[in-house]
């Protein structure tokens, strides 16, 4: 464990020195980069915080190994840092977004490309920037495997057995939270991409995230046509099924939305539309198959329940 921790800390230090510090200086000095670099700067700070945490953890590990005995413990050290591992979740939430922004910098800025080239060519460096940025994402699952193996090899009556067991439970929870954060980050990034595609800035709000999409027949009472349906956690977005999609309508996923069966492959939505159709609307969706309809119905019912619970929670607080 000590060897892998030492390698991890050295890699974070190298990334900070070769890439993150020069990128920070460039963003700070460039007004154009500053406008796009807010998320990148925030992520760089998270990366540095992670480095600081593990530098201290490595020092404590080193001290334990210097005075090693058959009754020595390391599980308690892991327990002490688990509350601080929340920063991994914060890092995971915007990880994909950071990579997209850095890729934009790479395509648009010769200064940024020079920073990357200089870091890549440094004699101490063996990893590309992207390979270094993913290290925190990979670290928590590896901790789980390491502590799992240590726990298996530790006798039940050893002083470290209980601390190792507790730290393993905490690390598994952190790993799950990290995976969820990465997934949520990807879903929010999808919102931004769709917003840019259809030129609708109001689509992007803090609580909204992308779930799924499909192409189907839509009948709103005036005409029937094939449309592209984008499903968010709180919104159904209807777009034209064209190479350059146009926003046609939206339906809020809330307690006012009513679902009714019409046939094996059709479903009726009754709602108060928040898009072009302002009054109470009835929209018939015809799916490519019964399985697609069932999948959509299940997905929508789940999100409606989540929205209802959230509203009840807000009302109780008021």
106-128 per-position pLDDT tens digit: 989 999 999 999 999 999 998 99
Domains 2-197 and 207-317 agree in fold = no
Reported as half-sphere exposure (CB side, CA atoms, 13 A), residue 182 has a value of 15
> What is the reported pLDDT for 208?
85
DSSP code, position 202: G
Over the stretch 75-97, which tens digit does the pLDDT of each residue have?
A: 899 888 888 888 999 999 888 88
pLDDT at 192 over 90: no
Q: For 203, phi and psi rounded to 5 degrees?
A: -65, -35
Over the stretch 220-275, which tens digit does the pLDDT of each residue have?
A: 878 889 999 999 988 999 999 999 999 998 888 887 788 888 888 999 888 764 44
CATH class for the region spanning 207-317:
mainly beta
What are the structural domain ranges in the chain? Answer: 2-197, 207-317
Ranges assigned E (strand) in the chain: 210-219, 224-232, 235-240, 247-252, 258-261, 266-272, 280-286
The H-or-E segment that residue 28 falls in is helix 21-29
For the full predicted model, state whether its pTM sits above 0.75.
Answer: no
CATH 1.20.900.10 for domain 2-197: yes
Q: How far is CA 164 from CA 78, 146, 161, in A?
A: 8, 10, 5
CB atoms within 10 A of CB 133: 21
Residue 147 CA to residue 4 CA, distance in Å, equals 12
> What is the reported pLDDT for 123?
94
Asked if residue 89 lies in contact with residue 181, where contact means CB atoms within 8 angstroms, the answer is yes
């Amino acid at each position: 464990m000590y060897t892998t921790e030492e390698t991890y800390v050295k890699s974070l230090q190298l990334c900070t020195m070769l890439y993150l510090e020069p990128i920070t200086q460039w963003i700070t000095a460039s007004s154009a980069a500053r406008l796009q670099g807010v998320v990148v700067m925030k992520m760089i700070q998270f990366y540095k915080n992670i480095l600081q945490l593990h530098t201290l953890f490595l020092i404590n590990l080193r001290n334990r190994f210097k005075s090693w005995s058959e009754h020595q413990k390391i599980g308690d050290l892991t327990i002490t840092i688990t509350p601080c591992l929340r920063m991994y979740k914060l890092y995971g939430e915007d990880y994909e977004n950071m990579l997209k922004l850095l890729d934009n910098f790479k395509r648009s800025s010769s200064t940024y490309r020079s920073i990357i080239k200089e870091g890549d060519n440094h004699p101490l460096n063996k990893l590309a920037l992207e390979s270094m940025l993913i290290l925190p994402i990979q670290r928590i699952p590896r901790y789980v495997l390491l502590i799992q193996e240590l726990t298996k090899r530790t006798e039940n009556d050893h002083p470290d057995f209980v601390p190792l067991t507790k730290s393993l439970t905490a690390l598994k929870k952190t790993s799950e939270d990290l995976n969820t954060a990465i997934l949520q980050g990807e879903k929010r990034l999808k919102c931004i991409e769709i917003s840019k595609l259809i030129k609708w800035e109001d689509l992007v709000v803090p609580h909204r995230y992308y779930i799924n999409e499909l192409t189907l027949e839509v009948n709103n009472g005036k005409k029937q046509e094939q449309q592209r349906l984008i499903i968010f956690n709180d919104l159904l977005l209807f777009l034209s099924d064209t190479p350059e999609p146009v926003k046609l309508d939206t339906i809020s996923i809330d307690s006012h939305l009513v679902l009714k069966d019409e046939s094996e492959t059709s479903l009726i939505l009754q709602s108060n539309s928040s898009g072009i159709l302002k009054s109470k609307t009835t929209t018939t969706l015809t799916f490519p198959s019964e399985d697609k309809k069932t999948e959509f119905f299940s997905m929508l019912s789940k999100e409606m329940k989540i929205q209802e619970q959230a509203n009840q929670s807000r009302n109780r607080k008021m």
